[in-house]
Amino acid sequence: MKSGLYALGSVLALAAVGAVASRRRGSRSASEPWDGIFVDLSTLEPRPRTRGDARGDILPRIPAWNSPELRAAFSRVREQRIEAGWPADHIPALVPGLEEEERYLRFLREAAFLGDPVRVFRMVSASRAEDVHLGEAGCPPPRYGRSGAGCYWSWDVKLANTYNSGDTHPEYLVVADVPATSVDWALTAQANVEWPEREITLRPGAPIRVLRVRDARRGAVIRQGPIEGRA
């Protein structure tokens, strides 16, 4: 693991951040009490709306609506979920209709603001910051079958949720830049057609460059990059 990457970052003006602290959607149920501070991460990691000359570079990489590549992505997800016994309302349609096509067009409009590299965010739950596995070159063999930081990210920091996994462990926001070639654009399009959550699906083991890891509760930078890792 590269040296100098464990420097403790200073807390980012929590007096100002506290004024906009709020409960993030999806990380804990409303019935469970929580006495911590929920930081509005959009004040810490704003999502860039334009990337200057990079605008539009991503669109040619996204499969067309009726392309074989996108149809194969829908079929692949459908077969995997049927085999895993998912409920019927979570099985994608074999032939997507007009509603899905409208979501696809919306996804294209939003993807036009992404550049290469793509800025992505992922919230992870771990007992300690050191347990956030980034898959660096030269690190010890991954435990529990993990090969890296994971394949499911978001390009919107406000939607980088752990949902229920943060109920028992602290949450950490991983901020990374990924080359466009690290993204599975067919599965990314499929995911945003099914659930418009601004999800980015990376190719397993694809290279990523982690810029920093934040303590989501305090807003503090607890690992500073760049760290060369893997999805």
96-113 b/e with 16+ CB inside 10 Å = b? Answer: beeebeebbeebbeebeb
Amino acid residing at 101: E
**Is-contact 54 28, C-beta < 8 A?**
no
pLDDT in tens, the chain (231 residues): 333 333 323 323 323 333 333 333 333 333 333 344 455 665 667 655 544 445 557 899 999 998 999 999 999 999 999 999 999 888 888 778 889 999 999 999 999 888 889 999 998 888 877 778 776 543 334 444 455 778 899 999 888 877 655 456 788 899 999 999 999 999 999 999 988 889 999 998 888 899 989 988 888 888 888 888 888
Distance set, CA 230 to CA 7, 61, 138 (Å): 21, 21, 12
Residue among 216, 103, 224, 210 at smallest CA distance from 158: 216
Predicted TM-score (pTM) of this structure: 0.72
How far is 76 from 229, CA to CA, in rounded Å?
A: 27
CA angle 92, 28, 104 (to 5 degrees): 30
Q: Domain spans of the chain? A: 14-230
- Three-state DSSP at 72 gives helix
